[in-house]
Amino acid sequence: MKRLKNEINLEKGFTPVELSIVIAIIGVIAALVQPGMREARKSENEAKANTNLKALYVAEKGVLQEKDRYSTDISKLGFSPDLKSRTGSVNGYTYELTSTDPLTNWQAVACPAVANRSGGLCFRVDQTGVITPLCPPGQKFDPVSGKCVSDETSLDALGLDAVKSVNDLSMGFALPMAQTFLTSPTLVQNILRKLDANGDGLLSFDELLNADILALARSVQPGLGGGGGGGGQPGGPDTALRVILRGYLDGLKMNLALGAGNETPPAAVSLVNLSGDPSGFLNQLAGGNCPPIAEGC
């Protein structure tokens, strides 16, 4: 029976070992890369939002000294031209400037253009110059994590769905093997280095979202081949696997909402700053039990 299963997998064009490395790569992306890059991106945009609000406060002080009243027009306070009138977006944040009485008060609120994607917190400033962090609409503050949280489906679901689909191609053999592989820090570091296409020690969103995971899998494990007949040919065995992997990366791209709110490209992240437990991520599917957030189980 075991021989028959192996023959079936060879006919598909890839081996359980190869599929397990693919799953390991998905685990590294889902548990180390994607969360690390997302948090770095949010921190960068949040820092820019604070800088913009400080600049707005200084500008409003200047307007008050010159005209004895505050401005209610952001576009006239030295901001980017796309911040028109009382609202506008820049660096992944949307700004709104309001006043109940321009002679005495004003306030500006900056919120992520896409909640928990282009930023994690809203910020408020007024004539006092004090910047206060706020949770975006529809979210609440979690005292345990110290962050704003929402009820939206976790991005982990994308990775879990992809892992389940790839594991199904191996008749269930690949997931346990992948968990074993991910106990090796050497393999994890090798995967990270391979994702870094230009070898500069930094991982950009472009490198992640344009990665060829199947080719990467074949380069990570020495001696790993294409399995059997048809691999890589149009309509051949590789096609089904590539569809799964491309769908996973395309899903990440859509859900990350890069460029929202006139966002500049997020900075690349140092590989040494990426940490997490990809093996623990895969444990969520151990034994064939799908977690509640994974659809289609």
- Rounded-to-integer distance, Cα 16 and Cα 181, Å: 13
Do the Cβ atoms of 112 and 92 come closer than 8 Å?
yes
Asked whether residue 82 falls in the same domain as residue 32, the answer is no
Dihedral, 15, 225, 27, 242 alpha carbons, nearest 10? -80
Residue 295 placed within a domain: no
Contacts with 76 (C-beta within 8 Å, 6 or more apart), sequence order: none
For residue range 3-60, what is the model confidence (pLDDT) as tens digits?
434 433 434 467 888 899 999 999 999 999 999 999 999 999 999 999 999 989 999 9
Locate 154 and state its tokens: 């976790």
Do the Cβ atoms of 92 and 263 come closer than 8 Å?
yes
Residue-level pLDDT at 173: 87
Residue-level pLDDT at 146: 66
For residue range 243-285, what is the model confidence (pLDDT) as tens digits?
999 999 999 999 899 998 889 899 999 999 898 889 888 887 7
**Total structural domains within the chain:** 2
Residue-level pLDDT at 150: 67
Residue-level pLDDT at 87: 58
Q: Which of 93, 116, 139 is the last residue of a domain?
A: 139
Residue 95 placed within a domain: yes
pTM listed for this prediction: 0.80
- Rounded-to-integer distance, Cα 230 and Cα 14, Å: 9
Strands 87-90 and 107-112: unpaired
Confidence of residue 131 (pLDDT cuts 50, 70, 90): very high
90 sits in which H/E element: strand 87-90
Q: Give the burial class of 198: count Cβ atoms within 10 A of its Cβ; 0-12 exposed, 13-18 middle, 19 or more buried.
A: exposed
Contacts with 42 (C-beta within 8 Å, 6 or more apart), sequence order: 112, 116, 117, 118, 119, 120
Percentage of the chain with pLDDT > 70?
78
Asked whether residue 277 falls in the same domain as residue 173, the answer is yes
Residue-level pLDDT at 3: 41
Residue 138 CB neighbours (<10 A): 11
Instruction: Calculate the average pLDDT of the chain.
Output: 81
Do the Cβ atoms of 89 and 110 come closer than 8 Å?
no
Q: Which of 116, 139, 162 is the last residue of a domain?
A: 139
**pLDDT of 287 over the 60 cut:** no
119 phi and psi, to 5 degrees? 180, 160
Enclosing domain of residue 91: 43-139
**pLDDT of 235 over the 70 cut:** no
**Looking at 65-74, 143-152, 159-168, which range is the least confident one?**
143-152
Residue-level pLDDT at 84: 45
- Rounded-to-integer distance, Cα 70 and Cα 132, Å: 20
